[in-house]
Amino acid sequence: MTRMSSYKRSFVVACALAASAMAGGCGGSGDGNRTVLTVYSPHGKELLEHYSLGFEKANPGVDVQWLDMGSQDVLDRLRGEKENPQADVWFGAPTEIFERAGKEGLLQKYEPTWKTALAPSAQDENGLWYGTYLTPEVIAYNSDKVDSASAPRDWPDVLDPKWKGHVVIRDPVGSGTMRAIFGAILQRSMEMTTTTDSGWSFLRRLDANTKEYTINPALLYEKLKRGDGWITLYNMPDIATLEQRTGAPVKYIVPSSGTPLLVDAIAVVNGTKHQDLAQKFIEFVMTPEALKFAADSLQRIPARTDIADSLLPKWIRDARVQIRPMGLDRRLMADSLNSWMQTWDSKVRNRNNKK
């Protein structure tokens, strides 16, 4: 069976957008008599296809259909579908976004078998979401345009005027990764000065150096590969995979002063028509075998603490020692980040880069 043909993708999109209350909706029958399990996720084709095929093989009566979109876009879609949920599983976003979804009644309580293998900071105290991967944020650069000796080593280095017009950034409004980076910058400002003023100064100077905010990750990767942008801020797994899989001249640096170490999460959508299958899918993607695939193939660091080092690549063992996590206040992020991003969008974006 061809994975996620254009017909199937169109079907999922149509279901996701439908306001119809027809019985079943996206939760009706799939191919033949198979039950459709719908997954919303920003994790991309390779990971989602691998897990979908594996789950379908283990559960022949299920047809997994997924819709790939940005983390914030998932939240907005679930809000719009609250009265008639179309998704069963939400797979992937920083925890601050899941925190907001939980407060809005969009997630369903569930207790996985591996709950005790997660740190308290990697799970919701009310059982609404659980961590899957740990995601460090990094500074990336095109190594054909920037030599390693002059590449930015820390966040403030990206503000150097020599990078003006050479920075390209994923549009932060719809990106969980970029929202987390911007939020960490503003939180650090509060910790150091009690106000967000220096953080906003940082973001204005970054905007002054930014050539473009791309609407999706694929465009970001393409511009970085071609050298249309020399510098970006993004998550380590995606940048490492870009280099590994495509041979792109892309390198990354973990910022020397520390970096946000995000907990990427997963949850059952409240109102799912297939609660048992949704829970079963979550159990499947969190097995040691599934986590090993994500680590080996897509540079994902598992949030489970009980995965033997022998199952994981050396770079993960090294990263656990080398990365200096920035302390993130999860509650502050959940309460403030949305308003911060609205302020950034209305008062900072493209307002500081005039020549």
pLDDT tens, residue by residue, 260-318: 888 999 999 999 999 999 999 999 999 999 999 999 888 899 999 998 888 888 878 87
Residue 351: phi, psi to the nearest 5?
A: -110, 0
pLDDT band at 32 (very low <50, low <70, confident <90, very high): low
Task: Break the chain into its structural domains and give their ranges.
Answer: 6-134+263-322, 136-261+324-347
In this predicted structure, which of 23-27, 236-240, 296-300, 328-332 has the lowest mean pLDDT?
Answer: 23-27
Q: What's the mean pLDDT when you consider all of the chain?
A: 88
Copy the structure tokens of residue 199: 């953080």
> Tell me, what's the pLDDT at 314?
84
115 or 310: which carries more pLDDT confidence?
A: 115
**Does this model's pTM top 0.95?**
no
For domain 6-134+263-322, the CATH architecture is 3-Layer(aba) Sandwich (3.40)
**What CATH number has the domain spanning 136-261+324-347?**
3.40.190.10
> Tell me, what's the pLDDT at 340?
96
> Tell me, what's the pLDDT at 84?
96
Burial (Cβ within 10 Å: 0-12, 13-18, ≥19) of residue 345: middle
Contact at 8 Å (CB) between 131 and 265? yes
The proportion of the chain whose per-residue pLDDT surpasses 70, expressed as a percent, equals 90
Give the span between the Cα atoms of 166 and 147, in whole angstroms: 14
In this predicted structure, which of 25-34, 144-153, 286-295 has the lowest mean pLDDT?
Answer: 25-34
pLDDT band at 101 (very low <50, low <70, confident <90, very high): very high
DSSP reduced 3-state for 330: helix
Give the span between the Cα atoms of 81 and 76, in whole angstroms: 9
> Tell me, what's the pLDDT at 185?
96
Q: How many CA atoms lie within 13 A of 214 on its CB side?
A: 19
Average pLDDT over residues 120-130: 95
> Tell me, what's the pLDDT at 31?
60
DSSP reduced 3-state for 235: strand
Neighbouring CB atoms inside 10 A of 12's CB total: 22
Same fold, 6-134+263-322 and 136-261+324-347: yes
Give the span between the Cα atoms of 312 and 25, in whole angstroms: 40
Average pLDDT over residues 163-187: 93
Contact at 8 Å (CB) between 274 and 37? yes
What are the Cα distances from residue 154, in Å, to 191, 233, 257, 290? Answer: 18, 11, 6, 33
Contact at 8 Å (CB) between 264 and 135? yes
Give the span between the Cα atoms of 192 and 258, in whole angstroms: 14
Q: Is the pLDDT of residue 17 over 50?
A: no
pLDDT band at 12 (very low <50, low <70, confident <90, very high): very low
Give Dmax over CA atoms of the chain in angstroms. Answer: 61
> Tell me, what's the pLDDT at 11?
38
Give the span between the Cα atoms of 158 and 164, in whole angstroms: 9
Q: What is the CA radius of gyration of the chain?
A: 20
Average pLDDT over residues 332-354: 91
DSSP string, 291-327: HHHHHHHH-PEES-TTS-GGGS-HHHHHHHHH--EEP
pLDDT band at 4 (very low <50, low <70, confident <90, very high): very low
Contacts of 313 (CB under 8 A, 6+ apart): 295, 296
